[in-house]
A and B are shown apart, each in its own frame.
Chain A
């Protein structure tokens, strides 16, 4: 009897597209560009296709918003080593700030959102700063607690609108702006983060994840680097918060809801951690799914958590990683 083992080999076309040979023929160019083109064209075309279904257009917007949060979580968890269990902190702070800027300061939407994004990110980074010199578990604990604490404090002290929230927040004037802002921002963040993690700065962050003592011994102020990384993630999260506030024209306790913390984590684990695009695809699956399962209420979160745990326990690589592997490599049986 022959002993066989499975071997994974790069596909011919993958090898042919390495380095400068990528432009040697239309097949190679297509191989490289197609996945990206598919994503960009698909996303951009989606609102047009769904024109007769405004409900689903809204779902697409929410889906892209969650995709941005997934980027934020994946970046912090798999490129810097910080587990952010409370992305809701970012959305809550960014959202309430944007509402305040529009309502109290009367700023127009296209100013309020960027301002809230940046200031929200600064506030969140400051809030998380004390945990950065410490072990990773402190960051997890504190990020878990902040959204829960803030929502209870707002409710208990009845500030910032209390349980009723702040209504009358101005929305987007044109439907086109409303739809495409989030899509374009998602694509922009996705591609720039991908660049960033392969740039020198990104390599330092990945080094911190692997062995932060060595990075310290190499003359780098690790706490400061982590702070910048948290700031970047907070920018993403605060943008989502301020976008949602103007989408719904209302800012309330739901900005600190568990959904914003859990769904990104589930998306990243299911979609494939460490690839950035994995979390995005994960959101594209989970968010429409949760709309379909609307009748189940908060059970949806429970289901996602269970699926997420199963994925972790099975040490699954995630959907995107699996698909990427299939795309780049093929398997065959060889004699031992």
Chain B
């Protein structure tokens, strides 16, 4: 399917004198994994914030499934099926892991859709929450889903964050550095999960620093540098491009 699910046109945002985004445009096809890379400070998180409604862009438009969502409040955008993870994962500390999912399951989107995969429409959100966690690798029979969210190790917390997004039955997930801070084995367990999501028809935008894993997953990659898009293409093209190398590594002075 070549249909375009997300279209971003000329997105610009500045904070005082700092230009965070400068006329960034790109489109994402339904069902693909679209990577966004760039050195620190290139505006990647601001881009996600603008698309997901947490920050209002100064210029530009964002279209999701053909509908304009620029400047809408974050909860409305999430209810349309466009969700995002947070770079610094902060679960609801006072609640157990599976109760964390009650919040997204409470949203109008899930309630309208009749629960999650058929179940949980009329209040049995607890069971549905445990189901979702199981999909993401929280063993059902262990005590892990019932532990307080604050006591989970980092890999589990990241997966909980992903579960929070999945509970909304989204069509597009924007992952803000989901591999950050994870060990090799934790990343290794996460990668097949993402592949499974793609197989199920989910579109993913992944902002990443860990290029090796990203390039294994992504269909296309876009490179940001100082808020501008400098390159877009397939992973092997991008990695060879001179401008990208310059941005990441710098150029020879002599």
Contacts and interface: CB of A to CB of B under 8 A. Distances in A.
| A–B in direct contact per CB < 8 Å | yes
A203 B103 contact: yes
Nearest to B89: A214
Interface residues of A, number: 18
Interface string A178-222: 000000000000000000000011011011001101111111111
Contact of A203 (B79, B93, B95, B108): B95
A193 B99 CA distance: 19
Contacts of A217: 52, 54, 74-75, 78, 83-84, 86, 164
A213 B103 contact: no
A267 to B, nearest CB: 22
Contacts of B125: 200
Contacts of B79: 219
Contacts of B83: 217-219
> For chain A, what secondary structure do more than half of its interface residues adopt (helix, strand, loop), or is it mixed?
helix
Interface in A206-241: 206-207, 210-211, 213-222
A201 B74 CA distance: 20
Interface string B84-127: 10100011111100011011111111100000000000010100
Given A218-B164, A219-B168, A203 B75 contact: no
B90 A206 contact: no
Contact of B75 (A200, A210, A219): A219
Interface in B23-81: 52, 54, 73-75, 78-79
Given A200-B102, A201-B106, A204-B102, A213 B86 contact: yes
B74 to A, nearest CB: 4
A216 B92 contact: no
A222 B54 CA distance: 13
A21 B161 CA distance: 34
B90 A214 contact: yes
B104 A210 contact: no
B54 A213 contact: yes
Nearest to A224: B75
A210 B94 CA distance: 8
B96 to A, nearest CB: 10
A220 B54 contact: no
Contact of A222 (B75, B84, B92): B75
A220 B105 CA distance: 10
Contacts of A222: 75
A217 to B, nearest CB: 6
B99 A203 contact: yes
- Most chain A beta-carbon neighbours within 10 Å: one of B78, B86, B102: B102
Nearest to B84: A217
A206 B109 contact: no
A16 to B, nearest CB: 19
A54 to B, nearest CB: 44
Contacts of B108: 219
B123 A200 contact: yes
- Most chain A beta-carbon neighbours within 10 Å: one of B74, B79, B99, B103: B103
B92 A219 contact: no
Given A210-B92, A214-B92, A214-B164, A220 B73 contact: no
A220 B106 contact: yes
A201 B106 CA distance: 8
B90 A219 contact: no
A216 B75 contact: yes
Contacts of B109: 219
Contacts of A213: 54, 74, 86
A216 B74 contact: yes
Interface of A: 200-201, 203-204, 206-207, 210-211, 213-222
12 contacts: A200-B105, A201-B106, A204-B106, A210-B93, A211-B92, A213-B74, A214-B92, A217-B84, A217-B164, A218-B168, A219-B75, A219-B79
